[in-house]
Amino acid sequence: MPEKLDVIVLGLGGMGSAAACQLAARGHRVLGLEQFTSPHDRGSSHGQTRVIRQAYFESPTYVPLLFRAYELWRDLEHATKQKFLNLCGGLMMGAPGSAVVEGSTRSAVQHGLPHELLDAKEIQRRFPPIHPPAGTVGLFERNAGFILPEASVKAHLDRARQLGARLQFEENVLGWEAVGDGVRVRTARGEYEAQRLVITAGAWTGEVLSDLRLPLEVERAVLYWFEPTEGIGPFLPGRFPIFIAEDKDGLLPYGIPAVDGPAGGVKVSFYHAPNPVTADSPVAIQRAVTNEEAKVMREHIARLLPSLGGRLVRSVTCMYTNTPDKHFIIDLHPAHPQVSIAAGFSGHGYKFCSVVGEILADLAESGRTRHDLSPFRLARF
Ligand SMILES: Cc1cc2nc3c(=O)[nH]c(=O)nc-3n(C[C@H](O)[C@H](O)[C@H](O)COP(=O)(O)OP(=O)(O)OC[C@H]3O[C@@H](n4cnc5c(N)ncnc54)[C@H](O)[C@@H]3O)c2cc1C
């Protein structure tokens, strides 16, 4: 007889670690299953830092979720006596009327978020490494910054374990089925039964839910750390913000302050790369980074930050899991309401892990949540 549990969480990356933690905190018997060890660098939650911000150009509907996400990140910091959030400020730049500046401003105004509008001269005065093209405008948000993904996944997992969750690593889920109003999950090591299943399988979601034929696409995303030619000082948190810059071609290069001292470099990337490589499955994603793509990134970023045209310190490959409209999927399974799904975070999900964990715990408990999930329903596809 398989052991009977309350909830199984399939996939213990960013979202799954938070869900396991929330469910364990509510007293449920939780089993978390993860195919790799943790932390690992084969999913979507690695690479040292993630941007966190509230003036959300993608849509103002995310802002209430962000308010709660910030509270829950702070609760986790408090509970674990660790620090993962660094609110060093954020600068959203582009031409007047660009999607990044206009969208961020709309969110800020609609939700009363503290912000300042800066012109190109003021941007360069405050942040000397940035050389914005003439006519650039920027929205500066003091409550933006970055979060540490590996450390916060670990904290969610440690906390979940402390609260009684059983977490099993290097245990690949091979399949699952609905059994009455519960579920049965099969791995190479055994079978488990539970009342509820939470699917947080990241880039593997299309495979885990192959019956649903979800419109998910896996996109290769590369992070680069460049050594500043004029020293790391002006790039340290407190002196340098996170930034996203929309250029004249609609590309969005972004960067995060230096967190690893003089030898660590400054992290930059594209929020959706030029000519992105996409696939149906993570297996098809090439991990090695070529000199040619590093050159494209260096040349691009050096137009805005000339001192980042230096040596490449390191690079790492990661994966976005995109939906067609780049908005998330957070919903119950259409045929099996005992199964909830969180996927398709389209390159901007990490900052939400804490609140998505809360939502998934709500859905597993009652099928409902006080958070507005209407933009994230599966039925929109
Ligand atoms: C390069 C890059 C930069 C990003 N920058 C930002 C940013 O600045 N700000 C931001 O908010 N977001 C950002 N994101 C997006 C964010 O990181 C992701 O949305 C988020 O990490 C997704 O978390 P997840 O839990 O869905 O996936 P993951 O963390 O990958 O977790 C899924 C887990 O499921 C496991 N799994 C899958 N299938 C199985 C199976 N069959 N059996 C057992 N385990 C399984 C996987 O091994 C994995 O550990 C970025 C993403 C990338 C790739």
Instruction: Give the tens place of pLDDT for each residue, 99-144.
Output: 999 999 999 999 999 999 999 999 999 999 999 999 999 999 999 9
End-to-end CA distance of the chain: 39
Mutate to test the pocket of ligand 1, among 38, 50, 340 (most ligand atoms within 8 A of CB): 50
Residue 56 lies in a domain: no
Ligand 1, atom nearest to 348 Cα:
12
Ligand 1, atom nearest to 11 Cα:
34
Give residue 262's pLDDT.
87
314 confidence band (pLDDT: 50, 70, 90): very high
How large is the C-alpha radius of gyration of the chain?
21
On whether both 303 and 238 belong to a single domain, the answer is: yes
On whether both 142 and 22 belong to a single domain, the answer is: no
Q: Give the model confidence (pLDDT) of 174-222 as tens digits.
A: 999 999 999 999 999 999 999 999 999 999 999 999 999 999 999 999 9
Mutate to test the pocket of ligand 1, among 350, 355, 360 (most ligand atoms within 8 A of CB): 350
Ligand 1, atom nearest to 352 Cα:
11
Q: Give the model confidence (pLDDT) of 225-275 as tens digits.
A: 999 999 999 999 999 999 999 999 999 999 999 999 889 999 999 999 998
Q: Of 322, 346, 370, which closes a domain?
A: 322
Residue 68 lies in a domain: no
Give residue 1's pLDDT.
59
Residue 51 lies in a domain: no
Q: What is the mean pLDDT of residues 39-43?
A: 96
Q: Of 280, 302, 322, which closes a domain?
A: 322
In this prediction the pTM is 0.98
Q: How is residue 221 written in tokens? A: 């995303």
On whether both 163 and 278 belong to a single domain, the answer is: no
Residue 230 lies in a domain: yes
CATH number of the domain at 242, please.
Answer: 3.30.9.10
C-beta separation of 282 from 203 below 8 A: yes
Give me the chain's average pLDDT, please: 97
What residue has token string 């199984």?
Answer: 8
On whether both 94 and 182 belong to a single domain, the answer is: no
Spacing, Cα 173 to ligand 1 middle (Å) = 17
Spacing, Cα 16 to ligand 1 middle (Å) = 9
On whether both 168 and 302 belong to a single domain, the answer is: no
On whether both 374 and 318 belong to a single domain, the answer is: no
Spacing, Cα 118 to ligand 1 middle (Å) = 33
Give residue 317's pLDDT.
97
Pairing outcome for strands 30-33 and 166-168: parallel
Give residue 234's pLDDT.
97
On whether both 246 and 368 belong to a single domain, the answer is: no
CATH number of the domain at 347, please.
Answer: 3.50.50.60
In the chain, the percentage of residues whose pLDDT exceeds 70 is: 99
Positive or negative, the CA dihedral 186, 191, 196, 202 is: negative
Ligand 1, atom nearest to 269 Cα:
1
- C-alpha 241/C-alpha 49 separation (Å) is 13
Residue 45 pLDDT exceeds 80: yes
Q: Which of 240, 199, 173 is nearest to 378 (CA)?
A: 199
4 confidence band (pLDDT: 50, 70, 90): confident
Distances from the Cα of 277 to the Cα of 120, 212, 272, 293, 367, angstroms: 33, 24, 10, 12, 36
Q: Which of 95, 94, 112 is nearest to 54 (CA)?
A: 112
On whether both 173 and 288 belong to a single domain, the answer is: no
Enumerate residues lining ligand 1, CB below 6 A.
10-16, 33-36, 43-45, 47, 50-51, 172-173, 200-202, 204, 208, 221, 223, 269, 318-320, 345, 347-351
Q: Which of 146, 113, 165, 110 is nearest to 357 (CA)?
A: 165
Total number of domains constituting the chain: 2
On whether both 191 and 336 belong to a single domain, the answer is: yes
Q: What is the mean pLDDT of residues 20-37?
A: 98
Spacing, Cα 83 to ligand 1 middle (Å) = 21
Q: Give the Cα-Cα-Cα angle 65, 276, 48 (nearest 5 degrees).
A: 55
Q: Which of 69, 68, 56 is nearest to 110 (CA)?
A: 56
On whether both 133 and 26 belong to a single domain, the answer is: no
Residue 65 lies in a domain: no
Residue 266 lies in a domain: yes
Give residue 2's pLDDT.
61
Q: What is the mean pLDDT of residues 149-172?
A: 98
Residue 370 pLDDT exceeds 70: yes
Q: Of 322, 344, 371, which closes a domain?
A: 322
Residue 305 lies in a domain: yes
Residue 192 lies in a domain: yes
On whether both 11 and 126 belong to a single domain, the answer is: no
Mutate to test the pocket of ligand 1, among 204, 341, 359 (most ligand atoms within 8 A of CB): 204
Spacing, Cα 15 to ligand 1 middle (Å) = 7
Q: Whose CA is nearest to atom 50 of ligand 1?
A: 347
Ligand 1, atom nearest to 40 Cα:
49
Mutate to test the pocket of ligand 1, among 348, 354, 355, 360 (most ligand atoms within 8 A of CB): 348
Spacing, Cα 39 to ligand 1 middle (Å) = 11
On whether both 186 and 290 belong to a single domain, the answer is: no
Spacing, Cα 172 to ligand 1 middle (Å) = 16
Which residue range forms the structural domain that includes residue 259? 89-146+218-322
